Structure 1
Amino acid sequence: MTDLEAHVAQPGRDDLVRQVREKIDKLGISYIYYQFVSVTGRIVGKGIPS
């Protein structure tokens, strides 16, 4: 099992994802902007429809 598979399979993760989805819907959020640091150290942003 890869690290990613282990992370996705963690107990309780499905419930947390469901809670976040419900909050996004409840608040009427239609677009989410994510920021993260790339491997090279550059700050990168991505926007996606919710």
Structure 2
Amino acid sequence: MGNRVKLEVSRFDFTFYIPIEGDPSHYPVAFSFFSVYLTVFAGEDPFA
């Protein structure tokens, strides 16, 4: 039937605060983490 390709893109957002020396306030720093999973399904297990 041919190969079936599945592409999954996941995004994780998280924020943490960095204490600045000499300053009582905390500065928020946001990060975005992108992970891409590419899985190819053939007629048989390619790792077998």
Range into which the TM-score falls when normalised by the shorter chain:
0.3 to 0.5
Higher helix proportion, which one? 1
Higher relative contact order (CA 8 A, sep 6+): 2
After TM superposition, the score normalised by the length of structure 1 is: 0.34
**Which protein shows a greater Rg?**
2
Higher strand proportion, which one? 2
After TM superposition, the score normalised by the length of structure 2 is: 0.35
